[in-house]
Amino acid sequence: MTDEARPIRSAAPLGDLAFRGVARGGGLLMLLITGGIGVFLAIRALPTLQTYGLGFLTTTVWNPDAGHAGILSVITGTALVALVAIVISFPLAMLVALYISEYAPRRLRATLITVVDLMAAVPSVIYGLWGFYTLQPAAHFLARWLHTYLGFLPFFQVDTDPRAALWEQPLYEKSMFISGIAVSMMVIPMACSVMREVFSQTPQGEREAALALGGTRWGMIRAVVLPFGRGGVIGGTMLGLGRALGETIAVSLIISPTFDLTDHILQRGGNTIASMIALRFGDASPTQLSALLAAGFVLFLMTVVVNLLAGVIVARSRSGAATEI
């Protein structure tokens, strides 16, 4: 009986080919949908951009029917609300992620993961109502405290005397600061889920090696877990930033819309692109509709740029890139 060479199949199994095709098709479909949205917005925004040119981005007066349309103030408001949300959500999300992955008892871990995931599934209108009825009555005291002791910083200034016996409470309400706090509650679960997942993938051998060398648990986290999860921290933060830039309902319920260019986040007033579109889209004239779609196109470009930057940063600080497993 002679030995015969077993034939080697170079082709991938049918199941792998099917999965690969479905994955590629889904990715291409998402690219086509995203590109289609961008093309649609660009076409509808073209008349406004041709009419106003660069002034559409550098002026603040909003009255398209009278021949004046500028979104500089709402671009600034969008950035400030997102900045407040990220400043609040980033440390909280990372601390919660570290607690769940490194400190929480095993029996409690699954419950905490479920709670965080459920927070991400809560509709934004619920957060908006919570911010309007529950957060705002308490947050204006915090805003007054920040104005009193940090008012020397431009963005913590308010046009009133915080130490007056009868202080003007309405000036501290319906502000970009309170809107940012409400948006941060929506950002935290998204960023926390990404960070926690990456932290949990830290190689167990490297954890044990750090502890075996005499390191404390925090020392192990600082030397092993955080460097390994750098990409996840950045990715989760940038994902939350994209959500904060486009949040609509929660901001619309809280903020008092104005078109004044200001960086005073504690003071009543402000606006964001998404909130402006939501509040004015229903009864917009054709001229106003074109201007609103142009503003939406600008917001779309801002989101794309943020995601592209996130991809570049994550690629340069990929989690575990220098780890031997």
Give bridge partners of residue 242 from the DSSP assignment. none
pLDDT in tens, 129-186: 999 999 998 888 899 999 999 988 888 988 888 888 777 888 898 999 999 999 999 9
What distance in Å separates the CA atoms of residue 69 and residue 285, rounded to the nearest whole number? 13
Position 10 in a domain: no
Using a pLDDT cut of 70, give the percent of the chain over it. 94
What CATH number is given to the structural domain containing 105? Answer: 1.10.3720.10
Q: Which residue has the tokens 């200001």?
A: 262
pLDDT band at 325 (very low <50, low <70, confident <90, very high): very low
Position 170 in a domain: yes
Query: Is there a contact between 293 and 45 (Cβ–Cβ < 8 Å)?
Result: yes
pLDDT in tens, 44-86: 989 898 888 888 998 888 888 888 888 999 999 999 999 999 9
Number of domains composing the chain: 1
Q: Which of 77, 88, 265 is nearest to 171 (CA)?
A: 265
What are the CA-CA distances from residue 3 to residues 6, 7, 9 (Å)?
9, 12, 19
Position 42 in a domain: yes
Position 7 in a domain: no
Position 153 in a domain: yes
In this model, does residue 316 exceed pLDDT 80?
Answer: no
Question: For the whole model, what pTM was predicted?
Answer: 0.88
Position 268 in a domain: yes
